[in-house]
A and B are shown apart, each in its own frame.
Chain A
């Protein structure tokens, strides 16, 4: 096999080599970056869901009898609750924190362009400030002010990419889904920085969620055994249409706490090309495909 002329992975899907490479990459990732505890935690989470559903369903009182006794009371209570809901609660409001997160996930997964101010506080005290644009689950553009200058990075329809601050450094392209690798960030910084809809989904799965005393902000606390990219705590404020207005997350890696804060700026429509690298550097810039 002549590895020097290794063909592009996507060109070869379905012709043997694509499967070979994906198979080998997955095994090598598992071998060199094994985290058996994460697998146990994944299984535990599924079993918790199965058990909690079973516990809810199980009851010492036969369901039919229970229903017969409670039906008149339930009817009155339901009517009262409905009346209160109509009078007091705005229509799109979700009654539980989990429901609110679910509704926000749905809203954030729609193909709408959203812009956020992003602030990252690192353990070494070096703050990063910039802007984040997202569209749905997967399209992301990030602009960060760094001591070396402005860095653009993102994930478009084909590539994850980064435009370094120096013109002499080439633009780097990589596989979609590898934005974290492109930015050389640790696993624990992946979730809320970029893909807000995915991050909300994962918070819903791996965190205890509850409304803060203000009744608007949701507080999320990581459950034991959750993967490393789940923040220790997060605060999310959601607007009336389910759009995330503020999202603050905190991790505690070895070097100390690290925070990321997103503040909603607006929803100005962007062209598709905005999410590709070419929109963020000059035509003469060198581009290197690292896939």
Chain B
């Protein structure tokens, strides 16, 4: 697979465009063609965008809000989008501004550093370069990494992430001690991460 250089979105809104101002702006009318193009692009990129936002903010209700505001802002600013660039990276750039704005509104939620956002952007950019249009296709690398794990490790990840179980319930599901269950999950996660870094050609793999 050939990899392109990291695209630089042409007009990512910066900190001087807080989401409150964007929200107050009316939703503009556009032509049918623009509307259809926007929908097609959004349907292709929405899920990866959502996973990116989840990785930044964690909570699902906040992620939903940021995701929605990001897409509405993208629609409002569609004329700023340079079609020779990556639409997904442009959306993530807008999402970064929205994430900061939402976290500022909720003073009790820890903020997120630029360095961390850059780190996440680099990883999601590498994932976006994987073959396929939809996130489901791009996650083939993750599926193959999980398939390389021992059966018990796969089961541990499934219980942890499918059922959302941690601690004692996780240990009960794996029929082992609490400490051992924690180690199984940590090791499985470390192996998948190392495998993914290799597949995505991320630094430090």
Contact = CB atoms under 8 A, between A and B. Distances in A.
B135 A30 contact: yes
Interface stretch (B12-20, B81-89, B154-162): B154-162
A18 B116 contact: yes
Contacts, number: 173
A283 interface: no
Interface stretch (A21-29, A80-88, A112-120, A246-254): A21-29
Given A22-B56, A227-B64, A31 B146 contact: yes
A29 to B, nearest CB: 5
B189 interface: yes
Contact of B183 (A4, A54, A180): A4
Interface stretch (A135-143, A210-218, A260-268): A135-143
Contacts of A3: 183, 186-187, 189-190
B204 interface: yes
A31 B161 contact: yes
B5 interface: no
A43 B42 contact: yes
A50 B55 contact: no
Interface in B106-163: 106, 108-110, 112-113, 115-116, 119-120, 122-124, 127, 135-136, 139, 142-143, 146, 157-158, 160-162
A26 B167 contact: no
A29 B54 contact: yes
Contact of A28 (B60, B75, B157, B187): B157
Given A4-B186, A46-B42, A157-B108, A33 B162 contact: yes
A180 B157 CA distance: 19
A238 to B, nearest CB: 20
B47 interface: yes
A172 B165 CA distance: 13
A80 B75 CA distance: 38
B58 interface: yes
Interface of B: 26-27, 29-30, 35, 39, 42-43, 46-47, 50-52, 54-56, 58-62, 64-65, 67-68, 71-72, 75, 105-106, 108-110, 112-113, 115-116, 119-120, 122-124, 127, 135-136, 139, 142-143, 146, 157-158, 160-162, 164-167, 169, 183, 186-187, 189-190, 192-194, 196-197, 204
Given A15-B115, A176-B110, A227-B64, 8 more contacts: A13-B113, A28-B157, A46-B71, A49-B72, A50-B27, A136-B108, A198-B62, A205-B68
